[in-house]
Amino acid sequence: MTVEKVLEFSDVVIVYDNFPAVAGATFSVNAGEIVLLQGANGAGKTTLLRACAGLLPIARGSANVLGCDLRLDRLAVRSRVGLLGHANGLFQDLTVLENMLFWSRLVGATRNDVDQAMDAMGLSGRLSETQVAKLSAGQRRRCALASLIVRRAQLWLLDEPHAGLDAQGRDELDRTLRAARDAGATVIFASHEIERASALATRSLVVASGTVKPA
Partner 1 sequence: MKKTVKKTGRSRVASAVFIKDLRIEARSRVVTNQVLPFAGLIMVMFAFALDNDDVLQRVAGGLIWLATIFSLFIIVQRSFAIDTSDSALDSLRVAGIDLSAVFLGKSIALSLQLIALDVVLIAAAFLLYQVQVSVIGLVLLVTCVICATTGLGFVGTLYGGLTAGTNGRETLLPLLLLPVVAPVLIAATRATEAAFGSGGAAISEGWAWVGLLAIFAAVFGVGGSLAFGPLIDE
Partner 2 sequence: MLSQSAPKFSSTGTQATRIVGVLTIVVMTWVVISGLVFTPADVVQGESVRIMYVHVPSAWIAYLAFIVTAIASAFYIFAKRHSLGFDRVAGASAEVGVMFMVITLVTGSLWGRLTWGEFWQWDPRLTTTAFLLVTYIGYLAVRRLDGSIEQRARRSAVIALLAVLEIPLVHFSVVFWRSLHQRATILDPNGDVKMDGLMLFTLFSGVVGFTLVFVWLILHRQRTMLLSDLANQSGLDAAILARQNESVSN
Ligand X SMILES: Nc1ncnc2c1ncn2[C@@H]1O[C@H](COP(=O)(O)OP(=O)(O)OP(=O)(O)O)[C@@H](O)[C@H]1O
Report the residue closest to ligand X, judged by CB: 138
Q: Is 136 in the site for ligand X (CB under 6 A)?
A: yes
Binding mask 116-145 for Mg ion (x = CB under 5 A): --------------------xx--------
Decide if residue 166 touches its own copies (CB under 8 A): yes
Q: Note whether 59 binds Mg ion by CB under 5 A.
A: no
Amino acid, res. 106: L
One of 59, 106, 137, 179 touching its own copies (CB under 8 A):
137
Give me the phi and psi of 36, to 5 degrees please: -100, 130
Q: Determine if 192 is a binding residue for its own copies (CB under 8 A).
A: yes
CA distances to 8, 19, 35, 91, 189 from 29, rounded to whole Å, are: 7, 26, 8, 33, 12
CB closer to Mg ion out of 51 and 150: 51
Applying CB under 6 A, among 10, 16, 73, 111 the residue interacting with ligand X is 16
**189 CB contacts (<8 Å, ≥6 apart)?**
34, 35, 36, 37, 156, 157, 158, 159, 160, 161, 177, 197, 201
Examine residue 127 and tell whether it contacts partner 2 (CB under 8 A).
yes
Strands (E), the chain: 5-16, 19-30, 34-38, 60-65, 68-69, 81-84, 155-159, 186-190, 203-208, 211-214
Return residues touching its own copies (CB under 8 A): 16, 19, 39-43, 46, 86, 122, 127, 134-139, 141-142, 160, 163-170, 192-195
Return residues touching Mg ion (CB under 5 A): 46, 136-137
